[in-house]
Structure 1
Amino acid sequence: MKISKVLTAYATQDGDGVSISRIPGFDGKYLDPFLMIDELKSDDKKDYMGGFPEHPHRGIETFTYILKGGFEHRDQMGNKKAIKAGDVQWMSTGRGVMHSEMPLADTVDGLHGFQIWINMPSLDKMRDPRYQDTTQNSAPSFTNTHGVTLKALAGSWQFESETLTSSLQGLAANALLADITLPAGKSVHLEPLSQQKVMIYIHSGSIITSDDQTIPAGKLLILEPDSNINITSEQGAGVLVLAGDPLNQPIAHMGPFVMTTQAEVQQAVRDYQNGEFGKI
């Protein structure tokens, strides 16, 4: 496994005072086609109970994955869903979405989850929004004889003899996502993916790479193109694998809007102020 870069998540807040760990990529240097990886992980309600009240998006895809706890999602398209532990949600915002994500009232054991932003090709940024989740069709998973589990969050994955196909298909930039759980003392090997950008985010425990580096939680490994994935964990670990094809296009970013020019961002602001994004 060949690692080209290691990035570290930093503590920040978003929404109504929600504490998160973030790896941003709005400069397009390292994460393209991904824009941001936010991890929400706390057993203290005051870190997340403010949630994310009603707000707009344009020009991105939001990908939410919950490991513990949950949120209620609402949007102007009429979707109202409880996204709980194990669930995945994908929203291709296109020309505009208004939505909110608020912690479920019955969340008692803390919250652990992700919101990941994927950039959209410039030609698709003004298409109609799309919404999908796995609440009725769970993300498929397979556990091998060593107890290693791969859960296909989006796209199709080959894990040993098993082909795992998520119900979430057609993400921007050919994006794929999976969650891998390694028991203590176990390893996982995946052949190179076809996508040019492949990254590994450690969200639990720690891993040991093929060159004997120990990498703790909160780190993002960016692999060289065509690299395989070969990791071990002494104490056990959970990792996200993110893959996609870089868009190599300009990024104009202002808050919840990501377009390719500043003029497009300014138009998004005007459209939002004029009420063209609708209401929940």
Structure 2
Amino acid sequence: MKVVSQYNALPAMDGDGVNIRRVADFTRTKFDPFLMLDEIKSDDKQDFIGGFPPHPHRGIETFTYIRKGGFEHRDQLGNVKAIRASDVQWMSTGSGVVHSEMPLADANDGLHGFQIWLNMPAKDKMRPAIYRDSSDTHNPEITNSLGATLRALAGDWQFADMDTHISAPVQGLAGQGMVADLMLAANAQAQLDLSHRQYAGLYLYQGSISSTQQDTQAHFQQGQYLIVDSQGLLSLQAGDDGAGLLVFAGDPIREKIVHMGPFVMNSQAEIEQAIADYQQGRFGEIVRSC
């Protein structure tokens, strides 16, 4: 596995005082078609109890994955859904979405989840929003003989040395985006072939991994994001404590973007229009509790 570059997730705060760790790039778009990854991981309610009150988006896709605990999602499209452990949620926001994400009242054992942003191509940024989640189905998994389990979250996946394919319920992300959760037992091994996509990345959320690079053994730890060469075979081995990784793949959109808060467009004029449209109520109103 050839690591092109690596980054450390940095502490940040968003929503109503939610503590997160973030990897993002809205300038050079080196994660294209992905823009940002936020991780929430805490057993202390004070780190996340404020949640994410109503806020807008335009021009991006948000992809949420929960490993522990959960959120209640509400939006102006009429969707009201509880997103719990192992669930994913995808919103292709297009011309505009207003939504909230608040911790579930019965999620008393902490929270561990991720929100990933993808850019949308200019031709799609003003189309109607799309919402999907996996709460009424499940995200399929396969396990190899070396102690690795692969859970498909978006797109189609398989281990490089197995014929079995699995398809996630959520398909059609911008930039042919794909997301999977790779869970490795102690000293487990896995190989992935992502050569059908131009971009590949790994985020290590738990444990440690090693991989041979240019005849030397490289080691990586929790909290690191790796951009890897998608055209080479990804060969990974977990350390004694096992490992958990999010795996990303896609095709770069390669368009100039302008970013301001929850809006990602292609020009400053489009950003200003998004702000004006939201302020004038053109995004609609969020579904309220009865």
Q: Under TM normalisation by the shorter chain, which class is it?
A: over 0.9
**For residue 112 of structure 2, what is the aligned residue in structure 1?**
112
Q: Does 1:60 align with 2:60?
A: yes
Distance, in Å, in 1 between the alignment partners of 2:153 and 2:140 is 8
How far apart are 1:32 and its partner, in Å?
1.0
The question of 1:228 aligning with 2:233 is answered yes
Query: Is it true that 1:243 corresponds to 2:245 in the alignment?
Result: no
* Alpha-carbon separation, structure 1, partners of 2:274 and 2:33: 21
Q: TM-score, normalised by structure 2?
A: 0.95
Query: Does the CA contact (< 8 Å) of 1:28 and 1:251 recur in 2?
Result: no
Distance 1:203 1:222 in 2: 15
> Which residue, out of 179, 183, 203, partners 1:177?
179
User: Which residue does the alignment assign to 1:94?
Assistant: 94
Shift of 1:144: 2.0
Pick aligned residue for 1:186 from 179, 185, 188 = 188
Structure 2 residue aligned with 1:138: 138
Q: Secondary structure at the match of 2:61?
A: strand
- Taking structure 1 as the reference length, the TM-score comes to 0.98
Q: Distance in 2 between matches of 1:228 and 1:109?
A: 38
Q: Deviations over 1:96-133 (max 9, x none)?
A: 00000000011111100000000000010000000000
What residue ranges of structure 2 are gaps of 5+ in the alignment? none
How far does the alpha carbon of each residue in 1:9-48 deviate from its partner, in whole angstroms, 9 at most, with x for none? 1001000000000001111342111110100001110000
Which secondary structure state, in structure 1, belongs to the residue aligned with residue 165 of structure 2? Answer: strand
| Higher mean displacement: 12-21 or 210-219 | 210-219
Give the distance between the partners of 1:228 and 1:83, measured in 2 at CA.
33
Give the structure 2 partner of residue 148 of structure 1. 148
Q: Equivalents in 1 of 2:185, 2:253: separation in Å?
A: 35
Q: In the alignment, what sits opposite 2:267?
A: 261
Measured after TM superposition, the shift of residue 187 of structure 1 is 0.8
Contact 1:28 1:35 in 2 (8 A): no
C-alpha separation between the residues in 1 aligned to 2:93 and 2:47? 27
What is the DSSP-based 3-state SS (H/G/I as helix, E as strand, rest coil) of the residue aligned with 1:213? Answer: strand
Over the residues paired in the alignment, what is the CA RMSD in angstroms? 0.9
SS of the counterpart of 1:278? coil
2:249 is matched by which residue type in structure 1?
A: A
1:210 to 206, 209, 212: 212
1:183, 1:5 → 2: CA distance? Answer: 26
Displacement of 1:214 after TM fit?
1.5
Instruction: Give, in angstroms, the shift of residue 161 of structure 1.
Output: 2.1
Structure 1 residue 210, shift from structure 2 partner: 1.8
Q: What is the count of residue pairs matched by the alignment?
A: 280
**Identity score, percent:** 54
1:27-80 deviation digits (Å, cap 9, x = unpaired): 134211111010000111000000000000000000000000000000000000
